[in-house]
Amino acid sequence: MIQVTNLCKKYGNVTAVNNLNFSVEKGEILGFLGPNGAGKTTTMNIITGYIPPSGGTVKINDMDILEDSNEVRKIIGYAPETPPIYTEMTVEEYLSFVAELKKIPKEKRSGSIEKVMELTKIADVKKRLINNLSKGYKQRVGIAQALIGDPEVLILDEPTAGLDPKQIIEIRNLIKELGKNHTIILSSHILPEVNAVCERVVIINKGEIVAIDAPEKLSSSLAGSTKVEAKIEGPSDKVLKAIMEVEGVKNVVKTGEEQQDSIEYIIESEPSTDVRRMLFFKMAENKFPIIEIKMLGLSLEEVFLQLTTTEKGEVE
């Protein structure tokens, strides 16, 4: 769907983006992360065609963003961190203006506007001046303008910046819903949000990619192993012996006192090896009920800091 190859951007002697290579599959929500000044917004501006690259290519549906710029822009919706909204207009007037700019046929404009207002849940304020809306509603209007024309690709740059926790959850749920019918690149500093909605993340630092993978795989690879915490009923000596017989298990330790005939264990396996399924079958075979089980690992925040931290704990 989106293919970024050897992408570079220089401003004089300063290299903002250096040789980026990544792809986004159709229907995927990709998290795009990096500290301030890492080159995130520059990269997204290149992908959307707002600025040209100094080198490399970006293709969307096999169309080059430079050679086929008019066609590519028709299938991209962009919501920057500060939405390009005209606060003296009503919501409906503004979206009608955007539909006209995007050259949506007149006979289709009304239906397109109603659809995006319904999707972003702003129909109830369509007659209000944008200037009088809350920050959360303004963000929704910014996303709504990106959706006009039903583009296949959405680029969302910090869509929850400045929102309160309730508004963040609302926008997060909206992004999940949009992900059912759109390919999305999401940039955000709120890492739990990225972890909650993105299948994969790209992390860049100083203009270069430092990691690409699913959050949980990054966590296990950086931690050096995959860990599972399990609460299991049964004699601890026999449970320990059975766990060690599970293929892929490197080590197991008890973590607490026995509680209602069950004990908690930390089970360690090779990086990117998920032993939960085999553990379930092994415990069932021995009639040791698993009361609770969960994966352990570095949080996305810890992964981010580990990959972007320079000397003396400084993040640039």
- pTM value is 0.74
pLDDT at 240: 94
Domain map (residue ranges) of the chain:
2-215, 220-296
74 compared with 217, residue with greater pLDDT? 74
223: nearest Cα among 295, 306, 305, 297:
297
User: What's the CA gap between 42 and 273, in Å, rounded?
Assistant: 36
Residue 250 has pLDDT above 80, yes or no: yes
Lowest mean pLDDT among 60-64, 110-114, 266-270: 266-270
Taking CA 56 as the corner, what is the angle to CA 50 and CA 59, rounded to the nearest 5 degrees? 65
Q: Distances in Å between the alpha carbon of 148 and those of 47, 53, 100, 245?
A: 18, 26, 10, 56
- What is the average pLDDT score of the chain? 88
Q: Distances in Å between the alpha carbon of 292 and those of 229, 276, 279?
A: 8, 11, 12
Residue 225 has pLDDT above 80, yes or no: no
Residue 314 has pLDDT above 60, yes or no: no
Lowest mean pLDDT among 145-154, 180-189, 276-285, 290-299: 290-299
CATH code assigned to 2-215: 3.40.50.300
User: What's the CA gap between 151 and 147, in Å, rounded?
Assistant: 6
Residue 315 has pLDDT above 70, yes or no: no
Same CATH topology for 2-215 and 220-296: the answer is no
Q: Give the DSSP H or E segment for 215.
A: helix 215-223
pLDDT confidence band for 311 (50 / 70 / 90): very low
Taking CA 19 as the corner, what is the angle to CA 16 and CA 20, rounded to the nearest 5 degrees? 90
Task: Say which CATH superfamily domain 220-296 falls into.
Answer: MTH889-like domain (3.30.70.1340)
